[in-house]
Structure 1
């Protein structure tokens, strides 16, 4: 007599899980549109006018570049808390070189140093198997200290290096070169993540590193590459901002920038657990946070409440990600 064949247990999915999955996929779009409509009604053309919107885009150029690269790190299963320190170090070095009279060398050397710092973070977290949160947090202290030694704790300023300033200030179609650079970098990183084999490997490494390794994915190298990209992006962001104001300081960036970048990535819908996310969502997340700040300014509200608001939004985003993961499993 034939034995009854065992059947695999059905996967349990909680009610509403399909809807929640769709909300997670594009959830940031809805609050972004709602906030835009509210501010447009409340402040009119003062908010949605061309001047204000282009100013937001210009001011957020560095943050968007850094956040786009940071999205790759998070998707691949890591986290980079040293971007603020790298931002400061590379702008300090670039500014010093620019003052010596070679703005092109300043930009190139600054970005190379950022890539090197990011690669070092990658080596520490992958080959030495140190948790990326701890490793990059420790690295941020070392990098900040190095930047402070270079500057002697002083602000570096020189308003005569116009060639260096042109890297961020020149306008084409009323859009600054800082914003054009950001658009180019974001598009390139977005295509790499969404359309290339390297991007698929990043998702695989963040979803299940061990299974990816057994499938032949060089997980350590993929993660190292994402950290190197993150370091280069932080350097480029720092150079853009220093070129805009023609000054640099070891105290620029820091935890405030790191928090803003991480908040934009997470609010945009990239999971802190890795394996999920998209750069287009990060862009909307960063602009959503920027609109909140712009709204507080236009409405004349106390900026201290802005920090409270951003903290609550980040908490809701992380909590929502954890809850929706539970519901969709």
Structure 2
């Protein structure tokens, strides 16, 4: 063994792990500084709160999606679940004349659809990628069926308060995101359920042999993912006051991209809630920065794609090591 190798072994510092752990935070801070210096329009309280508020629903979905990916799965149906919960909330609020009941119906609908995903994956033993890809098509059709392809407008004050109101200058959506992220982080890092999620994602067969009910844990993660999509939908539909059957189109891909950007391994067993939130807002800063600087949208997509590709490459490289 060389002196250099001996020094590395003695130090006990795992450089690749440290890079993977903090890379998204470093990129987020660096981009924040660059945008702050580049334009005076970025570093304002109004702009920063708008970034936090507008991306809170996506961040909520990504937080729950982190548990799914850590557990070794993928949920490609969250965008469609968002759409269904979105129109269910508006339909209930309009037809039952109860804005509050409509907002409550959104997370309940999301949880129910997430449960269906979990049952399909664990009982029918369909890979989560294929199962949720198929269910996303079914749920998207269900959203159109509920609305007949039209928008459902609800302008009652009680219905729009959740998405448009706040505590002082801080929107309710930001508060809900913070609470949901803290709850999810607690579940992952401080409970037996979180340890089981990590164990199942790390090695499902070993977890099964150790007495963990693998299928039940997987089912719970997909139920939680559906619940998160429903909560996000309640915020989204309340913000615009209109139920739209295509409201969640593309959200599932952005959520997964944010989770991967946050260093959660696509192979399962490794991940953190706070890094996924950073991943969401890294994408948000890229989008906001290009808009403020009036840059070519093509380069925005190119930059986003390169960043995501680099994150996936880092994940694969870490797995090989």
Q: TM-score range by the shorter chain?
A: over 0.9
**2:278 corresponds to 1:272:** no
Structure label with greater radius of gyration: 1
Per-residue CA deviations over 1:74-97 (Å, capped at 9, x if unaligned) read 001111000000000011010111
The 2-side partners of 1:224 and 1:144 are apart by 21
Q: Which residue of the partner structure matches residue 325 of structure 1?
A: 319
Q: Which residue of the partner structure matches residue 205 of structure 2?
A: 210
The 1-side partners of 2:140 and 2:118 are apart by 18
The 2-side partners of 1:277 and 1:162 are apart by 39
The 2-side partners of 1:157 and 1:163 are apart by 14
Question: Is residue 93–residue 154 contact of structure 2 (8 Å, CA) maintained in 1?
Answer: no
The 1-side partners of 2:170 and 2:316 are apart by 39
Structure 2 residues not aligned, in runs of 5+: 1-8
What TM-score, normalized to structure 2?
0.94
How much has 1:302 moved relative to structure 2?
A: 2.2
Q: Which of 91, 101, 107 is matched with 2:86 structurally?
A: 91
Superposed counterparts of 1:261-300, under 5 Å: 261-300=255-294
The 2-side partners of 1:26 and 1:228 are apart by 29
Q: Which of 95, 98, 104 is matched with 1:108 structurally?
A: 104
**2:309 corresponds to 1:315:** yes
List, as ranges, runs of 4+ consecutive aligned residues in structure 1 with deviation greater than 4 Å: none
227-236 or 109-118, larger mean C-alpha shift: 109-118
Q: Which of 295, 302, 305 is matched with 1:301 structurally?
A: 295
How much has 1:324 moved relative to structure 2?
A: 2.2
Structure 1 residues not aligned, in runs of 5+: 1-12
Q: Which residue of the partner structure matches residue 194 of structure 1?
A: 189
The 1-side partners of 2:15 and 2:174 are apart by 36
How much has 1:17 moved relative to structure 2?
A: 8.4
Per-residue CA deviations over 1:143-170 (Å, capped at 9, x if unaligned) read 00011011111122232x1101011211
Q: Which residue of the partner structure matches residue 133 of structure 2?
A: 137
**2:116 corresponds to 1:120:** yes
Superposed counterparts of 1:56-95, under 5 Å: 56-95=51-90
Question: Is residue 86–residue 247 contact of structure 2 (8 Å, CA) maintained in 1?
Answer: no
Across the aligned residues of Structure 1 and Structure 2, the Cα RMSD in angstroms comes to: 1.4
The 2-side partners of 1:300 and 1:140 are apart by 34
Secondary structure of the corresponding residue to residue 250 of structure 1? coil
Secondary structure of the corresponding residue to residue 14 of structure 2? helix
How much has 1:99 moved relative to structure 2?
A: 1.7
What is the number of equivalent residue pairs in this alignment? 310
The 2-side partners of 1:82 and 1:322 are apart by 24
What TM-score, normalized to structure 1?
0.91
**2:244 corresponds to 1:235:** no
